[in-house]
């Protein structure tokens, strides 16, 4: 049949999480553009819309995991806990959407399946699963980095008689674990958050661990009225700090080397960071992520903690990470994770000793045993960074697909654009520091930069902005250099490297040079007339 005519806008945004909402506000209310946001979910919130698994929390501290663009918004919103739950973050984003009148330009339950660039018109045609079409000169993806669920292809899963779930697509009605035997596969940030809650709710929990992980106590708790007033009185300072810090968090990494402290001093500093809790632990010394011997001191401290907490020595040994330095995989933070293995109804299965071979109607079978289960929870992570972008069939100049352009791994300029894909901007794209950063800080920087760039193009009567191949090549080299200056590439099973998805090219995807340094580079590029971009 005849295709419905495409609806025309100045810009199309894919995704209505933190990034999409702010990008809509910036383009519509600052530049005066007509904008349509297309969102697959039936609500806004992105990550926080999908990830509703038991124990889900944000690992950034709530007040810093928020927008900084509106003084009024900062003052009127009060976070209730140090680390917010998905429901609280959704309430926050709903509040933002209402306050800035965003909902009218957001179309929910609309999954983008394809986007084609038209060379003559200098415009993108975006096609949805339902066959709707939208056309706009600018296309901005706000699809997140951890939104494409990685469900391992374990033989026999379809024969399982019980229920199974992936944490990143959790049923909104919740799951009743009472009286059930639950198997949890995966011990990344998600599995480590979920295990203690599952253990408390279920009759029995079996944790299937492939790689033992370091984890630091989160020390969650309510924000007291005094803290609330202190936070609200100090937002200007807090924001300044998040913008100058390496990782966009409201604390700086110490200037001291681990080698400049005596073993006793080191232990005391680690102990107080362990008590304080959270991601601040990795900020104790400046060289933890660049010097293996320095890292060993932190890793050793955490290993000792695991052995002190976990009563059964064999379980403690299996839980002790040995194959990668501390924080070279995204460091989880937890509430009673290691303590959970002291419960009578919890068992650890070490997959390094005997891997999963199959799912059977009754449960999970490893090389040497079969575990009877009623529910399997996959906390097996995501096809990170590139997954959600490649899930859409994006075709740039000459009909060339992003899949082909990135066949050997993603190649971007600043993480924001890809050569051959004019007028396409990727918020938190591969090659940006976003996933090594407190996400909203990265997102606001990306959105502000993209908005200024689009404003520049339109303001100069231009129609097209495109990263040059040379600039991308240089950026890819710089991203590699930055990663190789750290210990991060030493974790060979990390999703930063794409190593968690079989067959995915192994390329260190995030920019490890630090958020503050990255923001300066982006600002310089813009000041120099968008150096590295071809403008027409």
CB of 488 to ligand NA7, least distance (A): 13
Closer to ligand NA7 by CB, 36 or 57: give it: 57
CB of 484 to ligand NA7, least distance (A): 21
Considering only 66, 141, 190, 315, the residue that binds ligand NA7 (CB under 6 A) is: 190
* Cα dihedral 295/299/300/304 (nearest 10): 160
64 is a contact residue toward ligand NA7 (CB under 6 A): no
Closer to ligand NA7 by CB, 188 or 420: give it: 188
x-or-dash pattern for ligand NA7, window 139-168, by CB under 6 A?
A: -------x-----x----------------
CB of 224 to ligand NA7, least distance (A): 27
428 is a contact residue toward ligand NA7 (CB under 6 A): no
Distance (Å, whole) CA 461 – CA 504: 41
Listed residue (387, 389, 518) closest to 446, CA to CA: 518
Considering Cα of 471, then 510, then 505, then 400, what sign does the dihedral take?
A: negative
Listed residue (384, 487, 394, 395) closest to 430, CA to CA: 384
186 is a contact residue toward ligand NA7 (CB under 6 A): yes
Distance (Å, whole) CA 202 – CA 200: 6
432 is a contact residue toward ligand NA7 (CB under 6 A): no
CB of 334 to ligand NA7, least distance (A): 11
* Closest residue to bound ligand NA7 by CB: 188
Closer to ligand NA7 by CB, 377 or 465: give it: 377
Considering only 308, 322, 493, 520, the residue that binds ligand NA7 (CB under 6 A) is: 493
Distance (Å, whole) CA 299 – CA 286: 15
Q: Could you tell me which stretch among 78-86, 216-224, 299-307, 380-388 binds ligand NA7 (CB under 6 A)?
A: 380-388
Query: Which one-letter DSSP state was computed for residue 331?
Result: P
- Is residue 73 within 8 A of residue 96, CB to CB? The reply is yes
CB of 211 to ligand NA7, least distance (A): 3
Closer to ligand NA7 by CB, 188 or 415: give it: 188
Closer to ligand NA7 by CB, 90 or 210: give it: 210
Closer to ligand NA7 by CB, 189 or 423: give it: 189
Considering only 330, 365, 395, 504, the residue that binds ligand NA7 (CB under 6 A) is: 330
187 is a contact residue toward ligand NA7 (CB under 6 A): yes
Hey, what are 349's tokens? 């299965």
Q: Could you tell me which stretch among 93-101, 208-216, 218-226, 364-372 binds ligand NA7 (CB under 6 A)?
A: 208-216
Measured at the CA of 435, the angle between CA 514 and CA 408, to 5 degrees, comes to: 100
496 is a contact residue toward ligand NA7 (CB under 6 A): no
| HSE (side-chain half, CA atoms, 13 Å) at 42 | 3
- Is residue 377 within 8 A of residue 182, CB to CB? The reply is yes
Distance (Å, whole) CA 19 – CA 447: 7
- Is residue 89 within 8 A of residue 48, CB to CB? The reply is yes
Q: Which helix or strand (DSSP H or E) is residue 226 part of?
A: helix 225-233
Q: Could you tell me which stretch among 6-14, 75-83, 375-383, 507-515 binds ligand NA7 (CB under 6 A)?
A: 375-383
Strand partners, 491: none
Considering only 123, 426, 500, 511, the residue that binds ligand NA7 (CB under 6 A) is: 500
CB of 496 to ligand NA7, least distance (A): 9
Distance (Å, whole) CA 73 – CA 339: 39
198 is a contact residue toward ligand NA7 (CB under 6 A): no
Distance (Å, whole) CA 303 – CA 358: 31
Distance (Å, whole) CA 112 – CA 122: 20
Q: Could you tell me which stretch among 69-77, 206-214, 280-288, 409-417 binds ligand NA7 (CB under 6 A)?
A: 206-214
Considering Cα of 274, then 277, then 282, then 284, what sign does the dihedral take?
A: negative
Using H for helix, E for strand and C for coil, what is the string for 107-159? ECCCCEEEEEEECCCCEEEEEECCCCEEEECEEEECCCCCCCECCCCCCCHHH
Distance (Å, whole) CA 298 – CA 289: 10
Closer to ligand NA7 by CB, 146 or 471: give it: 146
Q: Could you tell me which stretch among 9-17, 117-125, 179-187, 195-203 binds ligand NA7 (CB under 6 A)?
A: 179-187
Q: Could you tell me which stretch among 253-261, 288-296, 342-350, 379-387 binds ligand NA7 (CB under 6 A)?
A: 379-387
Tell me which residues touch ligand NA7 (CB under 6 A): 146, 152, 185-191, 208, 210-211, 330, 351, 356, 379-382, 493, 495, 500
């Amino acid at each position: 049949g005849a295709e419905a005519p495409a609806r025309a806008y100045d810009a199309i945004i894919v995704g209505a999480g933190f990034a999409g909402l702010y990008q809509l506000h910036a383009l519509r209310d600052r530049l005066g553009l007509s904008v349509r946001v297309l969102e697959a979910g039936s609500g806004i919130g992105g990550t926080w819309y999908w990830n509703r698994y038991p124990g889900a929390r944000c690992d950034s501290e709530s007040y810093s995991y928020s927008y900084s663009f509106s003084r009024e918004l900062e003052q009127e919103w009060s976070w209730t806990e140090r680390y917010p739950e998905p429901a609280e973050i959704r309430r926050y984003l709903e509040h933002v959407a209402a306050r800035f009148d965003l909902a009218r330009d957001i179309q929910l339950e609309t999954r983008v399946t394809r986007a084609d660039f038209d060379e003559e018109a200098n415009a993108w045609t975006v096609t949805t699963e339902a066959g709707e079409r939208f056309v706009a000169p600018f296309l901005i993806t706000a699809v997140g980095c951890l939104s494409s669920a990685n469900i391992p292809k374990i033989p026999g899963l379809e024969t399982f008689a019980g229920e199974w779930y992936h944490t990143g697509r959790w049923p909104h009605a919740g799951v009743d674990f009472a009286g059930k035997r639950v198997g949890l596969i995966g011990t990344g940030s998600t599995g480590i958050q979920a295990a203690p809650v599952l253990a408390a709710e279920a009759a029995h929990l079996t944790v299937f661990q492939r790689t033992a992980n370091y984890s630091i106590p989160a020390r969650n708790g309510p924000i007291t009225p005094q803290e609330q007033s202190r936070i609200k009185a100090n937002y200007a300072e807090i924001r300044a700090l998040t913008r100058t810090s390496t990782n966009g968090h409201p604390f700086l990494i110490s200037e001291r080397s681990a080698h400049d402290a005596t073993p006793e001093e080191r232990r005391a500093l680690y102990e107080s960071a362990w008590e304080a809790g959270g991601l601040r632990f990795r900020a104790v010394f400046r060289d933890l992520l660049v010097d293996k011997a320095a890292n060993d001191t932190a890793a050793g401290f955490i290993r000792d903690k695991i052995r002190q907490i976990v009563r059964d020595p064999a379980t403690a040994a299996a839980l002790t990470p040995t194959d990668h330095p501390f924080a070279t995989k995204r460091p989880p933070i937890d509430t009673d994770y290691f303590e959970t293995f002291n419960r009578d109804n919890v068992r650890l299965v070490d997959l390094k000793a005997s891997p999963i071979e199959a799912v059977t109607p009754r449960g999970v079978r490893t090389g040497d045993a079969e575990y009877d289960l009623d529910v399997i929870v996959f906390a097996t992570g995501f096809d990170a960074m590139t997954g959600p972008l490649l899930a859409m069939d994006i075709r740039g100049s000459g009909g060339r697909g992003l899949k082909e352009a990135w066949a050997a791994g993603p190649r971007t300029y600043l993480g924001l654009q890809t050569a051959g894909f004019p007028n396409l901007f990727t918020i938190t794209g591969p090659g940006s520091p976003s996933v090594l950063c407190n996400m909203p800080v990265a997102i606001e920087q990306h959105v502000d930069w993209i908005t200024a760039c689009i404003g520049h193009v339109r303001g100069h009567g231009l129609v097209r902005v495109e990263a040059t191949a040379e600039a991308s090549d240089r950026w890819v080299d710089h991203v590699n250099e930055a990663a190789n200056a750290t210990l991060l590439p030493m974790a060979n099973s990390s999703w930063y490297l794409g190593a968690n998805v079989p067959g995915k090219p192994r390329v260190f995807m995030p920019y490890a040079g630090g958020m503050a340094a990255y923001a300066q580079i982006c600002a310089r590029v813009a000041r120099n007339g968008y150096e590295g971009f071809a403008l027409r």
